[in-house]
């Protein structure tokens, strides 16, 4: 069997049998397509061996691919090799005993400081014609649907720490307004709940849902665009980037930065990291622990309050 046919069959198998997110499957398909382009689409898979795989990864590393992307490509090739062997398409798993050293630099996530989040939200409220802290009315949403949708999406991401595809995926039937909770299906198809923490965001969400009902939309998603279709992740990224620039923020702002910011603010507020893990939907606590290294301002405050040197001097 040729490599391009094997790749297509493997991707179909992933879609049918593995509980992976569409994003992960697209990433694996892209990784295997890169391998196919280097090796040759019509290469017979029986001729593949570990040297082909290692040579490909070394080439990718030399080309400047990040360690994170290299690890993902290695994972895609490893799974592909196991599948080919399990399907009796090859006599031996070509990945067997293959090793390649890939560094694991621990990059700190980029988060917005509290005053910049406040500036962004203040700009969005002004653009939407909403007074700070005042209750949003149904007529506001109907008069300025673009501005109110952007404001609500950003507020929800800051308040709950959800990913961009999660916030645009909120369905009206999954919102429990009396309990101020939203049920969602996150990364890896893991179900969890997030919560609306105050009266303003809870009331805004309910008002927006009521306004949405008056428009007789033909889909179940909470957030919609000017064509009354579901808001997409790409559109939300674009809206956020433009709003941050218009608000005078110097760095490019992404939805994932809002997620990092939400986690950092919770850490600074003293919330237990295990609760933050559940809120963010992390499968492993080690993923959440990176936020304990982010909050320099909290660290500065704690060290200043402790004032070890001053205590020693006063004890003399």
DSSP-H helix ranges across the chain: 3-17, 22-39, 50-62, 67-86, 114-128, 138-143, 145-160, 164-167, 199-214, 233-246, 255-268, 273-280, 285-289, 296-306, 308-315
Q: What SS3 class is residue 97?
A: coil
Query: Among this protein's residues, is 115 annotated catalytic?
Result: no
Q: Which two tokens stand for residue 126?
A: 């002004």
Selected catalytic residue, list 50, 212, 239, 259: 259
d(CA 52, CA 277): 39
Inter-axis angle of helices 3-17 and 67-86, nearest 10: 90
**Pick from 220, 199, 185, 212: nearest CA to 155:** 199
Selected catalytic residue, list 165, 187, 192, 221: 187
According to DSSP, the residues that pair with 176 across neighbouring strands are: 181
d(CA 273, CA 276): 5
Query: Among this protein's residues, is 291 annotated catalytic?
Result: yes
Query: Among this protein's residues, is 37 annotated catalytic?
Result: no
Mapped to the 3 state alphabet, what secondary structure does 22-58 carry? HHHHHHHHHHHHHHHHHHCCCCEHHHCCHHHHHHHHH
Cα Dmax for the chain: 81
Q: Which two tokens stand for residue 73?
A: 């490509």
Query: Among this protein's residues, is 239 annotated catalytic?
Result: no
Q: Which two tokens stand for residue 254?
A: 């992404």
Selected catalytic residue, list 10, 28, 208, 291: 291
Query: Among this protein's residues, is 163 annotated catalytic?
Result: yes
CB atoms under 10 Å from CB of 163, counted, come to 20
Selected catalytic residue, list 50, 163, 212, 239: 163
Q: Which residues are known to be catalytic?
A: 163, 187, 256, 259, 282, 291
């Amino acid at each position: 069997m040729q490599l391009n046919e094997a790749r297509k069959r493997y991707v179909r198998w992933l879609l049918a049998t593995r509980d992976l997110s569409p994003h992960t499957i697209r990433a694996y398909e892209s990784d295997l397509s890169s391998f196919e382009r280097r090796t040759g689409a019509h290469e017979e898979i029986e001729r593949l061996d570990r040297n082909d795989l290692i040579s490909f990864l070394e080439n990718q590393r030399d080309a400047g691919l990040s360690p994170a992307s290299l690890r993902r490509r290695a994972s895609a090739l490893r799974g592909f090799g196991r599948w080919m062997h399990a399907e009796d398409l090859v006599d031996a798993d070509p990945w067997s005993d293959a090793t390649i050293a890939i560094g694991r630099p621990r990059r700190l996530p980029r988060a917005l400081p509290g005053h910049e989040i406040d500036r962004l939200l203040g700009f969005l409220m002004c653009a939407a014609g909403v007074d700070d802290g005042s209750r949003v009315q149904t007529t506001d949403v109907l008069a300025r649907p673009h501005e109110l949708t952007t404001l609500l999406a950003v507020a929800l991401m800051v308040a709950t720490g959800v990913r961009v595809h999660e916030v645009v995926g909120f369905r009206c039937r999954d919102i429990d307004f009396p309990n101020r909770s939203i049920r969602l299906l996150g990364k890896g198809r893991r179900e969890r709940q997030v919560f609306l923490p105050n009266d303003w965001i809870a009331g805004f969400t309910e008002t927006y849902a009521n306004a949405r009902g008056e428009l007789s939309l033909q889909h179940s998603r909470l957030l919609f665009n000017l064509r009354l279709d579901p808001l997409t992740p790409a559109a939300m990224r674009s809206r956020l980037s433009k709003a941050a620039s218009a608000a005078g923020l110097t760095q490019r702002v992404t939805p994932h930065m809002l997620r990092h910011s939400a986690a950092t603010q919770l850490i600074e507020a003293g919330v237990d990291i295990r609760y933050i893990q559940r809120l963010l939907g992390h499968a492993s606590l080690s993923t959440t622990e990176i936020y304990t290294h982010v909050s320099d301002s909290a660290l500065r405050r704690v060290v200043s309050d402790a004032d070890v040197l001053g205590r020693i001097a006063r004890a003399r």
